[in-house]
Homo-oligomer: A and B are copies of this chain.
Amino acid sequence: MPLATVNLRSVCTQCNLKELCLPLGLDNHDLEKLDGLIAARRKIKRQQHLYRAGEPFEAIYAIRTGFFKTDILTEDGRDQVTGFQMAGEILGMDGISTDRHVCNAVALEDSDVCMIPYDKLEELSRRIEPLQRQFHKFLSREIVREQGIMMLLGSMRAEERLAAFLLNLSQRMRARGYSALEFNLRMTREEIGSYLGLKLETVSRAFSKFQDEGLITVHQKHIQILDSEGLRRLIGRAPI
């Protein structure tokens, strides 16, 4: 796999994502130290892998632009999408555990990431306390995010899962300054289904039902949320 790295100095100091990304909360002095850390930027074309399960783990990645999915494929043919990641989010933290990547990371659109060499990050976070704290929070946030998915997969029915998925996406879009009520999905129905533990037909039917009920409009990948309160209500009513 050719390393499509770009040898730009990646300037956290000037990055417009610094309020979402790892540098969150660092002061200017610390930010300058961080600038030395980021080795390279890397461009990933749609459908290309950022990394693959089994590859040696060397770096985590901060997404500057673009959209990714992470998934796990087992020998027996199971395929589970474990997450979708957008700009400002961090990828690859599962690799720390075994020094090898556990899942695959695939770009769902042409993307641009900051490569953060892990040994340097550990070294720097020993010297910069706020960075250490921030990094730990990111790791923990990933644990909490996955607990949310466990909740979703373990105790919600199909339509509740899809509603929760849409609301989560919407909220993350807003956090990044995009429209929270109108956006294009970057993933297929099958990928959504894999993420939500459903078949693509079930996802499609749920989309149609939401549309019939006036909660959203769907045209292929284009989604418009008409009644986000209605979607929330859908989740809020647990069965018994």
Contacts and interface: CB of A to CB of B under 8 A. Distances in A.
A110 interface: no
A147 B96 contact: no
Interface string A117-138: 0000010011101001100110
Contacts of A98: 144
In which size bucket is the chain A interface?
A: 35 or more
Interface in A75-115: 75-80, 82, 93-98, 102-103
A35 interface: no
A74 B147 contact: no
A125 B127 CA distance: 11
A127 to B, nearest CB: 8
A6 interface: no
Best-surrounded residue of A74, A142, A150 (most CB of chain B within 10 A): A150
A139 B235 CA distance: 30
Given A126-B126, A126-B132, A238-B78, A102 B147 contact: yes
Given A126-B129, A140-B95, A151 B74 contact: yes
Interface string A44-88: 000000000000000000000000000010111111101000000
Interface of A: 72, 74-80, 82, 93-98, 102-103, 122, 125-127, 129, 132-133, 136-137, 139-144, 146-147, 149-151, 153-156, 194-197, 235-238, 240
